[in-house]
């Protein structure tokens, strides 16, 4: 395989005047690396590399979320029982272990094997673009806020701005518009994470399989900040404020001191990210408490909250139509109430919709 890769890289170098062959990552033994992580760099140019990346992704799914999860099913219950760590991440997001139930892929083939017990249904609800909505509120960005007021898709709004296309003319089914929306998702979330051009480049490749240069990443960030001037202003002010106070906080009142960072160094990405991702985590915790209490009070013995994955909640319910409909309504109401508790007056149009089905995948619609 390394011989094949060497020939292909030399051909690309000759065609495109690049130096991929000489700069390509190598194994400890000195051979060209053929891992999927590195092959992604040329997957859009080499069909063979693209196939290897796809195969590697499917093999990882089978290995990490097939055999390993099967081995962890407890014979006494026939279920998985993960441990949840509620205070490990700086952001306040829950993490999980043995097994990690927080990183189950969204892949339909994987989630379809998570099924309700006989005679039961799964009701699933998640927040729509929670962190972007938190960004809109905290930054008081008029463009973002107006988009949510009108029930628009913020990824499409960003994509339209990147293309210079009016929203009325943006068609998510057109290939170039669909591609732009995928890129817009990368830049939307990367800006939330406080990423610079290099960070966006890595994030786009690892999370969305998008290849771009540092210069392209910088242009995307600049276009984003030009599209959402409220966010640009808030980031400038937030950086100045946190550099002065040496602290950063969330809407829920949690404070993180930069003195706690390695060497006491200021971390710009943390200063920009924690108020957004941390507040979103607090909303999820508030929702978790509300959902559990409401279900226990109004549907005792008929429902059970079985999983929370960041901004998504999975409830197993008695399979009768009356109970399913009641559980959906309660999830939607309590999740919206949690959002409003942390962000009073925030827009909630299209915020939450619950679905049901016999499996996790089916309940996601």
d(CA 145, CA 9) in angstroms, rounded, equals: 47
Of the candidates 193, 194, 164, the residue with the CA atom closest to the CA atom of residue 176: 164
Record the tokens describing residue 52, joined without a space.
């290897």
Q: Give first-to-last CA distance, the chain, whole Å.
A: 40
Q: Which residue has the tokens 């990882």?
A: 60
Let me know the angle formed at the C-alpha of 63 by 61 and 65, rounded to the nearest 5 degrees: 55
Same fold, 108-130+281-363 and 138-280: no
**From first to last of its 365 residues, what are the pLDDT tens digits of the chain?**
677 777 777 777 677 777 777 777 787 877 777 777 777 777 777 777 778 777 777 777 777 787 888 889 999 998 999 898 888 888 988 888 888 888 888 888 889 989 999 999 999 999 999 999 999 999 999 999 999 999 888 998 888 888 888 888 888 888 888 888 888 888 888 888 788 888 888 888 777 777 788 888 888 889 899 999 999 999 999 999 999 999 999 999 999 999 999 999 999 999 999 999 999 999 999 999 999 999 999 999 999 999 999 899 999 999 999 999 999 999 999 999 999 999 999 999 999 999 999 999 999 86
- pLDDT for 306: 95
The Cα 219–Cα 124 span in angstroms is 38
What are the phi and psi torsion angles at 213 (to 5°)?
A: -85, 165
pLDDT confidence of residue 185: 87
- Nearest-5° angle of CA 267, CA 272, CA 277? 115
User: How many Cα atoms occupy the beta-carbon half-sphere of 3 within 13 Å?
Assistant: 0
Distance CA(305)–CA(316), nearest Å, equals 6
Predicted local distance difference test score (pLDDT) of residue 275:
96
pTM for this prediction:
0.83
CA dist 266 and 272 (Å) reads 11
Domain limits of the chain?
Answer: 2-71, 108-130+281-363, 138-280
Query: Is the CA virtual torsion 270, 274, 276, 281 positive or negative?
Result: positive
Q: Using N-to-C axis directions, what is the helix angle for 154-163 and 214-227, rounded to 10°?
A: 110
| SS percent in the chain: helix, strand, coil, step 5 | 60, 15, 30
CATH class of domain segment(s) 138-280: mainly alpha
Burial status of residue 49 (CB atoms within 10 A of its CB: 0-12, 13-18, 19 or more):
buried
CB atoms within 10 A of CB 35: 12
pLDDT of 346 reads 95
Predicted pLDDT of residue 89: 87
CATH architecture group of domain 108-130+281-363: 2-Layer Sandwich (3.30)
CB 288 within 8 A of CB 295: no
Q: Which of 10, 6, 57, 59 is nearest to 34 (CA)?
A: 6
């Amino acid at each position: 395989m390394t011989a094949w890769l060497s020939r292909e890289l030399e051909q690309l170098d000759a065609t495109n005047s690049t130096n991929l062959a000489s700069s390509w990552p190598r194994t400890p033994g000195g051979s060209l690396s053929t891992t999927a992580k590195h092959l992604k760099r040329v997957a859009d140019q080499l069909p063979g590399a693209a196939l290897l990346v796809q195969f590697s992704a499917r093999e990882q799914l089978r290995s990490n979320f097939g055999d390993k999860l099967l081995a962890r099913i407890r014979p006494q219950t026939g279920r998985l029982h993960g441990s949840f760590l509620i205070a490990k991440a700086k952001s306040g997001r829950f993490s999980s272990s043995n097994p990690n139930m927080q990183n189950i892929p969204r892949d339909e083939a994987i989630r379809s094997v998570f099924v309700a017990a006989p005679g039961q249904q799964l009701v699933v609800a998640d927040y729509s673009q929670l962190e972007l909505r938190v960004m809109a509120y905290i930054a008081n960005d008029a463009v973002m806020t107006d988009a949510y007021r009108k029930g628009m898709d913020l990824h499409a709004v960003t994509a339209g701005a990147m293309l210079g296309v009016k929203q009325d003319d943006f068609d998510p089914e057109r290939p170039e518009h669909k591609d732009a929306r995928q890129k817009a998702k990368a830049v939307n979330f990367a800006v939330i994470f406080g990423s610079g051009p290099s960070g966006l480049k890595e994030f786009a490749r690892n999370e969305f399989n998008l290849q771009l240069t540092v210069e392209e990443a910088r242009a995307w960030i600049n276009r984003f900040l030009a599209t959402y001037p409220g966010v640009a202003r808030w980031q400038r002010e937030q950086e100045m404020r946190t550099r002065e106070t040496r602290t950063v906080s969330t809407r829920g009142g949690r404070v993180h001191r930069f003195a706690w960072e390695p060497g006491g160094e200021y971390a710009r990405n943390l200063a920009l990210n924690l108020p957004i991702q941390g507040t979103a985590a607090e909303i999820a915790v508030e929702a978790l408490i509300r959902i559990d209490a409401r279900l226990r009070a109004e549907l005792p013995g008929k429902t059970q909250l079985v999983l929370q994955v960041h901004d998504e909640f999975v409830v197993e319910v008695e399979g009768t139509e009356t109970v399913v409909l009641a559980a959906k309504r309660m999830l939607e109401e309590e999740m919206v109430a949690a959002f409003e508790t942390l962000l009073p007056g925030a827009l909630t149009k299209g915020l939450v919709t619950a679905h049901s089905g016999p499996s996790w995948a089916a309940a996601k619609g």
